Amino acid sequence: MEWLRELLRVTDVGFLVYFAMINTSYLILLALASVEFGQHVRRAPFAGADDMLSSPLTFPITMIVPAYNEQAGIVAAVQAIAALEYPRFEIVVVDDGSTDGTFEQLQRHFGLVEVPRVVPSEVPTEGAVLSVHVAADNPDGLVVIRKVNGGKADALNVGINAAQHPLLCMVDADSILDPKSLLAVAKPFADDPIRVVATGGVVRIANGCRVVGGRIVEARMPTQWLPRIQVVEYLRAFLMGRAGWSRVGGLVVISGAFGLFRRDLVVQVGGMALDTVGEDAELVVRLHRYLRTHVDDYRIVFVSEPVSWSEAPATVRTLGRQRRRWHRGLAEILYRHRQMLGRPRYGMVGTVALPWYLLFELLAPLIELAAVFLVPAGLIVGVINVSFAWRFVLVAYGYALMISLAALLLEELSFHRYPRMRDLGIGVAAAVAENIGYRQLMALWQAAGILDAVWQRRRVWGDHTRQGFGDPGSPG
């Protein structure tokens, strides 16, 4: 029994140190993000978006929208993209074998006409293309490709092959973009066209927001607590994590819900990987790996202002599948690119960012679950006292709560997206609620994702039943 007591004592102290380290790293990222946002706010009035809108030299963009059973929100998403303020772009929707009315919704609203267009094979694909359609009144602006189901990465690769323009913007079919978001996320390419190879923007939760004509006209907190907690998560991930990593040149995640890439480089590295569920982040890491070897200087940038609004899972079952899939993707990425870990030749990504994701993202749920059981066990057998247990709670949960509240405050000071004080109060309550049951459930789902990666279970898109954004063209 004595050795078991000593093991519990050492383990519990280790948990305390681990959570202190992880939350301190979050605080450092938050500080870096605050510097980034301060500079962004000062630059915003002089960003030159109007010049980009009128300039014939602005790079045209292909918007790739992979869709699988998205009938509830696909029309609103395409309407929002079509209404973006940008001089020249095309929309390529890839219907990946949907079994609902996704295609029929598009055909009815946009008057699709089938055309004899051949999609080239510059990057590998699996699901065969069945037909290509264009909008009758805008054949160069909207293309819809129907294909055999092959997964999200396969659908994106078909869109990459069909793209006509030098920049690719990958957008989730359940997303609604702010009108000026494309101008803002493309601005780094206009400012530094030689070095910038990819940019990513902020993704926020659309649940509860008022939608008119495919646009968010009023941001509101969701009415359900599960999406409310996800609002806090997204604010923390984008405002703190990605902005902070971008500041130091260590950005390794650009969300598949809203990312802009140079097409020539995406084709050069082989397009989206077909054997991982984390294809968006894997592409970014693969670009880093390729460019650190072949290019002297490049930039992958997070842009603070562009906003893509996505529908968050509203049920525990759907959320669990999503987070399990996300964590499996992280495990697959880190294993695939394990040679980069700790290697100075890969710069900040190899020496800091990827080791951080291994220690504080991939392994975090396993350590969280172990702590949930072993800290109470240490208290019960008397190897730790109540004072230590309280210190652990304050470091693991109180410190984390402080970080979440700081992210909410940073968002309010920088962008003020939620105009009602009530919404801010709900955000604070959601930050508290996140630590009571939600975090522990999340750890279970993420641990299951690690097991899925280890056991190489079958990869699927995931069944996210959409509630939609209301009738297109009317309040939702």
Residue 130 CA: distances (Å) to CA of 66, 69, 118, 257: 15, 17, 10, 25
- Rounded Cα–Cα distance for residues 135 and 114 (Å): 9
Identify the CA nearest to 144 among candidates 153, 136, 135, 152: 135
Element containing residue 205 per DSSP (H, E): strand 196-205
Are 133 and 114 in contact, with CB atoms under 8 Å apart? yes
* Distance, CA of 342 to CA of 332 (rounded, Å): 17
Q: Percentage of the chain with pLDDT > 90?
A: 58
Could you tell me the pLDDT band of residue 439, with boundaries at 50, 70 and 90? very high
Alpha-helix residue ranges (DSSP H) falling in 64-151 = 74-82, 102-110
pLDDT interval class at 388 (50, 70, 90): confident
The Cα–Cα gap between 49 and 30 comes to 27
Query: Residue 180 is encoded by which pair of tokens?
Result: 């000026």
Asked which of 146-160, 210-224, 386-400 is least confident by mean pLDDT, the reply is 210-224
One-letter-per-residue 3-state SS of 172-187:
CCCEEECCCHHHHHHH
Helix 421-433 to helix 399-414 angle (10° resolution) is: 160
CA pair distance 98, 107, nearest whole angstrom: 14
pLDDT band at 304 (very low <50, low <70, confident <90, very high): confident
Tell me how far apart the alpha carbons of residues 37 and 474 are, in angstroms, rounded to a whole number.
34
- Reported as a single tens digit per residue, the pLDDT across 243-274 is 899 999 999 998 877 889 999 999 999 999 99
Q: How confident is the model at residue 39 (pLDDT cuts 50, 70, 90)?
A: confident
Taking a C-beta distance cutoff of 8 angstroms, is the pair 42, 61 a contact? Answer: no
Distance set, CA 339 to CA 162, 272, 286, 350 (Å) = 33, 20, 12, 9
Model pLDDT, residue 474: 38
* Band (60; pLDDT cuts 50, 70, 90): very high
**Domain boundaries defined on the chain:** 1-59+175-458, 60-165
What is the rounded average pLDDT for all residues in the chain?
Answer: 88
421-433 helix and 225-235 helix, angle to the nearest 10 degrees: 90
Check: CB of residue 37 under 8 Å from CB of residue 304. Answer: yes
The 10s digit of each residue's pLDDT in 321-335 is 999 999 999 999 999
pLDDT for 463 beyond 60? no
Structure tokens at 187: 């601005």
**Span of 191-200, 353-362, 403-412 with lowest mean pLDDT:** 403-412
* pLDDT in the model for residue 417: 78
Q: Which comes out higher in pLDDT, residue 153 or 306?
A: 153
211 touches 176 (CB < 8 A): yes
364 in Cβ contact with 371 (< 8 Å): no
Length of the chain: 476
> Rounded to two decimals, what is the model's pTM?
0.90
Decide which of 287 and 476 is more confident: 287
Could you give the residue ranges of the DSSP H alpha helices within 315-438? 316-336, 347-348, 354-357, 364-381, 386-393, 399-414, 421-433
Tell me, what DSSP letter sits at residue 60?
A: P
- Report which listed range, 37-51, 343-357, 382-396, 447-461, is most confident: 343-357
Q: Cα-flanking dihedrals φ and ψ of residue 43, to 5°?
A: -80, -25
Which of 203-217, 249-263, 335-349 bottoms out in mean pLDDT, i.e. has the lowest? 203-217
pLDDT value, residue 444: 97
Q: CATH class for domain 60-165?
A: alpha beta
Q: Is the pLDDT of residue 465 over 60?
A: no
Across 64-78, 296-310, 436-450, the highest mean pLDDT is recorded for 436-450
Calpha distance 431→413 (Å, rounded): 18
State the pLDDT confidence band at 77, using cuts at 50, 70 and 90.
confident
Q: How far apart are CA 218 and CA 432, in angstroms?
A: 25
- The distance of Cα 446 from the centroid of its chain, to the nearest Å, equals 16
Residue with the bigger pLDDT between 47 and 251: it is 251
Identity of residue 189: F
Q: What is the CA radius of gyration of the chain?
A: 23
- Quote the pLDDT of residue 415: 75
Beta strands in 32-117 (DSSP E): 61-67, 89-96, 112-115
- Closest C-alpha to 153, from 248, 255, 274, 238: 274
**pLDDT over threshold 70, residue 469:** no
Q: Residue 472: its pLDDT value, please?
A: 41
* DSSP secondary structure of 286-314: HHHHHHHHH-S--EEEEEEEEEEEEPPP-
